[in-house]
Amino acid sequence: MNKIAVVTGGAGFIGSHLCDRLIKENISVICIDNLLTGNIENISHLFGNEKFTFIKHDVTNYIYVSGKVDYVLHFASPASPIDYLELPIQTLKVGSLGTHKALGLAKDKGAIFLLASTSEVYGDPDVHPQTETYWGNVNPVGPRGVYDEAKRFAEALTMAYNRFHKIDTRIVRIFNTYGPRMRLKDGRALPTFCLQALTNEDLTIFGEGNQTRSFCYVSDTVDGIFKLLMSDIVDPVNIGNPEETTILRFAEEIIRLTNSNSKIINLALPEDDPKIRQPNISKAKNLLHWEPIVGREEGLLITIDYFKKKLELI
């Protein structure tokens, strides 16, 4: 029997790549997205594919899907700082009400449920690198709290459904991911740097640029998510690239790879901006036999080429 997956937020950056992977694995996809931050262009290549269906819908409202469903993957949420600072209520609602509705669908269909959580549940960590057993250091009333706490609540709700309703659940904690289909102006470091470098504007880094991040190419992230979905691991699993770099070094790398004349300027550090971010992926390595394989320069060159083409169309 053909397997069927519902992907909320399936027109988003990671969600659309996940739709591609599921279809490649011969799983039919029902993509649900209200296009608040998603983009129909991310899934337009799938229209006409008999294994793909798109439903425009806000998942904070009741989700109705006829027939059987084998998997529910909840990826709906604003995910960049510029989005969740501009859409704080919507971010909290999709993390709480949206997760509740998506879990309700999984419960009704007897489906496996996978929650897209985030490294932001660790907040500004005082444990480095971050392991899944670390509970985090989050400011619940700070501006970033709307995203951090929405995802922390979503994790708690997912585990409650697993324990109380016996739903088969998975939780993936996704670290910084990049690649084609990112929005040029989504506010995250990589697309911002690429846009600035490709237009020869100054690259803006916050503080001295000593804060660290770990960037994982999207195909690697999606591979880890798929392997987790196919596993029987209920507890959260980190998926990300453990190769850590400073934001300053990363900005310099973007300038070099784009052959840009841009310079680097410093801006004030945003409130609660994490100083360090690096996943411990021992769990994924040992239990999923997963680790990233795309080198940062290789992935950046593909992503920069994508952004170049997008700029040509503007």
Catalytic residues: 147
- Distances in Å between the alpha carbon of 275 and those of 84, 128, 143, 269? 19, 11, 16, 10
The CB-side HSE value for 314 (13 A sphere, CA atoms) comes to 11
- Which helix H or strand E contains 116, and what residues bound it? strand 112-118
DSSP state of 137: B
**Nearest-angstrom CA–CA distance, 237 and 250:** 26
Q: Is residue 169 within 8 Å of residue 112, measured between CB atoms?
A: yes
Q: State residue 157 phi and psi, 5-degree precision.
A: -65, -40
Q: Cβ neighbours of residue 291 under 8 Å, at least 6 residues apart? A: 281, 284, 285
What whole-number distance in Å separates Cα of residue 176 and Cα of residue 20?
Answer: 20
SS3 of residue 67 by DSSP: coil
Taking the CA atoms of residue 19, residue 85, residue 277 and residue 242 in that order, the dihedral angle to the nearest 10 degrees is 10
Contacts of 79 (CB under 8 A, 6+ apart): 12, 13, 37, 118, 147
Q: Give me 291's structure tokens.
A: 């680790």
Q: How far apart are the first and last CA of the chain?
A: 44
Report the greatest alpha carbon distance in the chain. Answer: 58
